[in-house]
Structure 1
Amino acid sequence: MRLFLSLFLLTLFFVAQAQPATRWYKGNTHTHTLWSDGDDFPELILDWYKSRDYDFIAISDHNTLADKEFWKEVPEHPFRQERFREYLKKYGKDWVEYKTDSAGKISVKLKTLKEFRPLFEEKGKFLIIQAEEVSDKFEGKPIHMNAINVKELLKPQGGHSVAEVMQNNLDALNEQRKRTGQPMILHVNHPNFVWAIKADDMRGLRGERFFEVYNGHPLVHNYGDSTTFGMDELWDDLQISYLADGKPPLYGLATDDSHNYLEYKVGLSNPGRGWIMVKAKELTPEALVGAMENGDFYATTGVLLADLQTTNNTLSVEVEAKANTKYTIQFWGARPSPAGNSKARKRVLLKEVPGTSASFKLTPQDLFVRAKIISDTPQKNPYQEGDVEKAWTQPLLK
């Protein structure tokens, strides 16, 4: 018996040793450059993120991929002229291609992803993911979705309603994924931007798995208003609908939606405001996309987690605590509505715990649970004055 037990434990040890270890990777999936409406060169943007310990970045310019010849005129604004001089000084004339016309206006030939990728990528240390913000519309309403790890340009598909536009773009991405065999995802961006996307527009979508619970752009109305859901409320409302319809869970991301890199203040769309932490076996697009589809990630604006476990129908959270900082851990979910309809579910705060660690075990009446961690540390360069650092876990289902 002892010999059998020893052999069994030895087998478990070698199996565990053979499994690649997972680790947390920090990244942003919504980043703009001069290839569309960002105000800085891709190389300087990537240098910003890499030097601040990001592990991966998705360059996601509007309806374009950085894969062709493209010249960009340098605006006459002093900040932009100075930035060009900094770019030229840092990378040199052998790298920077530019020309000056008869009026003295400078145009720069932007480097492609294929050209600038080798300057930054390091295996296991830093990864650039090809992406695109598919920028569509319906009756003037902007409908934007980020295609992550696309192989080909995904053209806006249009449609006869807000919901149909989103569905057509989801279907187009899934078609490209199936045809090319390349893992990729599409996440709905800033639903409240110009109040364009409502809960009912997203409720009936097929194949929708991701959306931005936080976006750092100043015009996206993350917190809603008296008549429109904020992103937290929207998330839980849609989750209830999706699970009732037998759909997979909806996952939430935090992103920068960065456009402005030359000046930092509230009212501009700066980098560093929101990101995701993905628990994956390796730093590759395939591993990251796979982990995200499994819900193995969390969204944050500054709060980091020392541990996150989902076992035995229990969600457990431990914060990587900062000195002199207080934390509140909230567990949000859905339970039967007081009206008595056993199938109806209502969003509810299940539990709230002050401190750096807490757990919640699902009961038979709970549809799901997710954690939101709120600190009392003011966010640096916030989306909105008064914002504090937060984090959001993905939902654990019953």
Structure 2
Amino acid sequence: MVAEIGRRSANLLIVLFIFSCSSGNVQEAEKQNWYKGNLHTHSYWSDGDEFPEVIMQWYKEKGYHFVALSDHNIFQEGEKWVNIRKDSLYRTAFQDYLAAYGEEWVVYEEEGEDLKVKLKTFDEYAPLYHEAERFIMLPAEEISAGYEGKPLHLNATNLDKLIQPREGGSVVEVLQNNINAVLEQRKVSGKPMMVHINHPNFRWAITLEDMIRLKGERFFEVYNGHPSVNNLGDSTRIGYEEMWDFINIAYLEKKQPLLFGLATDDSHSYHEQSSKLANAGRGWVMVQTDTLSPASLIHALEQGDFYASTGVALETLNYTNNTLQVVAQAKEGVNYTLEFIGCEKGEKETRVLKTVQGNSAEFEVGQDMLFVRCKITSSEPQPNPVENMTNQLAWTQPVQPE
């Protein structure tokens, strides 16, 4: 009996070893969890119009697992007061805030018609929402620099301390100096951090050529939920998805790692819903990893173990043995179009390699391919879209043949 148990244990160890060594851009679902998160959010600490506590409560109630509150060039630390607008919409919202959190929590001053409120710091409000394997917050900052009037914004997530915007002699130099500042802080602190380029087409500030010249950048926003960022480009300038592919072709030619695409809210407005306002709930990432922690999430993001979404949920996303498998969550009355998009070696642009009408498909990534990704389009409309992006979408990350 002991010998039999020993043989079974040995066989089990062999199976586990083989299983653990399976390669792929997305890990095996059996040992991983999916975590939903938004990496670009604003509050009263900069140019958002709501208290951090209310924002975090909204995201947690909506099923998000992590949020990076990334206000412009500021951490939620120290003392900061905000003047509440006299508009009844904002005064009513303040009364709701006061009723929800109480006089002992809310510090405010009234003088005539003026109303000022002292904002809670990250260290004060974050513990209210932290819940193991349910919800965490990541300290973040939108590093907001510029060059000759062009807004050059990067989000730094899980920072150890505030980074003051770096200057430079060109768009590329400014961006690179700020990327380097984040990477240097990560190196010195030993803390996992990530930096991503925000909305390149916002005021047409960052061109494809600028993006290609960057080094050390692993992420950018393939979708941003702000109504003024030109996700789709215009008649003469390309949109983010097309930009993404050209960047990756150039990066691979230079032996740089692939650039991964995020979907974010860039939320500022929380009291009214409109296609003309930067509302919450438009774009997010679904990260596949074993633990809800900053280190685990950032590691998975850097491995490409995630997809970006504006509404589409994937039931399966797996890349094993050079086969990319995608299964969208089936919904009654909802149809899906799955497009596998890639670039062959020696080519200078991507093309649609395979189109499937249905919620499930797979694609074998041959050795002749530079990379392949999948775009999933749902017939279900997005509840509160921006630009002309009316249908719910998802984007998997590009994968390379092994």
User: Quick one: which of 293, 297, 300 aligns to 1:284?
Assistant: 293
User: Quick one: which of 386, 395, 398 aligns to 1:392?
Assistant: 395
Q: What corresponds to 1:339 in structure 2?
A: none
Shift of residue 53 of structure 1?
0.6
Closer, same or farther in 2 for the Cα pair 1:171/1:77, shift >3 Å?
Answer: same
Question: Could you list the per-position Cα deviations for residues 32-76 of structure 1 after superposition, in whole angstroms to 9, with x for gaps in the alignment?
Answer: 000000000111111110001100111000000001110111111
Closer, same or farther in 2 for the Cα pair 1:254/1:226, shift >3 Å?
Answer: same
Q: What corresponds to 1:190 in structure 2?
A: 199
Q: Output the CA distance in 1 between the equivalents of 2:97 and 2:240.
A: 37
State whether residues 260 and 269 of structure 1, in contact with CA within 8 Å, keep that contact through their aligned partners in structure 2: yes
Q: Is 2:268 the counterpart of 1:266?
A: no
Q: What corresponds to 2:57 in structure 1?
A: 47
Q: Output the CA distance in 2 between the equivalents of 1:120 and 1:16.
A: 39
Shift of residue 16 of structure 1?
9.1
Q: Given residue 397 of structure 1, which amino acid in structure 2 is its aligned partner?
A: Q
State whether residues 266 and 385 of structure 1, in contact with CA within 8 Å, keep that contact through their aligned partners in structure 2: no
Number of positions where the alignment pairs a residue of Structure 1 with one of Structure 2: 391
User: Quick one: which of 82, 85, 106 aligns to 1:96?
Assistant: 106
Q: What corresponds to 2:162 in structure 1?
A: 153
Q: Output the CA distance in 2 between the equivalents of 1:18 and 1:387.
A: 40
State whether residues 166 and 174 of structure 2, in contact with CA within 8 Å, keep that contact through their aligned partners in structure 1: yes
Shift of residue 384 of structure 1?
2.9
User: Quick one: which of 13, 26, 30 aligns to 1:11?
Assistant: 13
Closer, same or farther in 2 for the Cα pair 1:72/1:333, shift >3 Å?
Answer: same
Q: What corresponds to 1:382 in structure 2?
A: 385
User: Quick one: which of 21, 39, 43 aligns to 1:33?
Assistant: 43
User: Quick one: which of 81, 93, 109 aligns to 1:71?
Assistant: 81
Q: What corresponds to 1:57 in structure 2?
A: 67
Q: Output the CA distance in 1 between the equivalents of 2:19 and 2:360.
A: 29
State whether residues 230 and 387 of structure 2, in contact with CA within 8 Å, keep that contact through their aligned partners in structure 1: no
Question: Could you list the per-position Cα deviations for residues 208-255 of structure 1 after superposition, in whole angstroms to 9, with x for gaps in the alignment?
Answer: 100000000000000011221111100000000001100001000000
Instruction: Decide which moves more: 174-183 or 363-372.
Output: 363-372
Q: What corresponds to 1:219 in structure 2?
A: 228
Q: Output the CA distance in 2 between the equivalents of 1:164 and 1:182.
A: 25
Q: TM-score, normalised by structure 1?
A: 0.95
Q: What corresponds to 1:340 in structure 2?
A: none
Shift of residue 289 of structure 1?
0.4
State whether residues 41 and 69 of structure 2, in contact with CA within 8 Å, keep that contact through their aligned partners in structure 1: yes
Q: Given residue 91 of structure 1, which amino acid in structure 2 is its aligned partner?
A: Y
SS in 2 for 1:367: strand
State whether residues 32 and 38 of structure 1, in contact with CA within 8 Å, keep that contact through their aligned partners in structure 2: yes
Shift of residue 109 of structure 1?
0.3
Q: Given residue 211 of structure 2, which amino acid in structure 1 is its aligned partner?
A: M
Q: Given residue 11 of structure 1, which amino acid in structure 2 is its aligned partner?
A: L
Shift of residue 335 of structure 1?
2.0
Shift of residue 9 of structure 1?
1.6
State whether residues 334 and 366 of structure 1, in contact with CA within 8 Å, keep that contact through their aligned partners in structure 2: yes
State whether residues 222 and 241 of structure 2, in contact with CA within 8 Å, keep that contact through their aligned partners in structure 1: yes
State whether residues 67 and 138 of structure 2, in contact with CA within 8 Å, keep that contact through their aligned partners in structure 1: yes
Question: Could you list the per-position Cα deviations for residues 295-343 of structure 1 after superposition, in whole angstroms to 9, with x for gaps in the alignment?
Answer: 001000010110011111111101112110010000111125xxxxxx4
State whether residues 69 and 110 of structure 1, in contact with CA within 8 Å, keep that contact through their aligned partners in structure 2: yes
Q: What corresponds to 2:24 in structure 1?
A: none
Shift of residue 345 of structure 1?
2.7
- Aligned-residue identity in percent: 47
State whether residues 143 and 156 of structure 2, in contact with CA within 8 Å, keep that contact through their aligned partners in structure 1: yes
Q: Which runs of 5+ in 1 are unaligned?
A: 337-342
Q: What corresponds to 1:118 in structure 2?
A: 127
User: Quick one: which of 236, 247, 258 aligns to 2:256?
Assistant: 247
Q: Is 2:31 the counterpart of 1:21?
A: yes
Q: TM-score, normalised by structure 2?
A: 0.94
Q: Output the CA distance in 2 between the equivalents of 1:265 and 1:281.
A: 36
Alignment RMSD = 1.9
Structure of higher RCO (CA pairs closer than 8 Å, 6+ residues apart): 2
Q: Given residue 95 of structure 1, which amino acid in structure 2 is its aligned partner?
A: W
Q: How does 1:159-178 map to 2 (within 5 A)?
A: 159-178=168-187
User: Quick one: which of 37, 61, 85 aligns to 2:95?
Assistant: 85
State whether residues 278 and 292 of structure 1, in contact with CA within 8 Å, keep that contact through their aligned partners in structure 2: yes
Q: What corresponds to 2:376 in structure 1?
A: 373
Shift of residue 357 of structure 1?
0.7
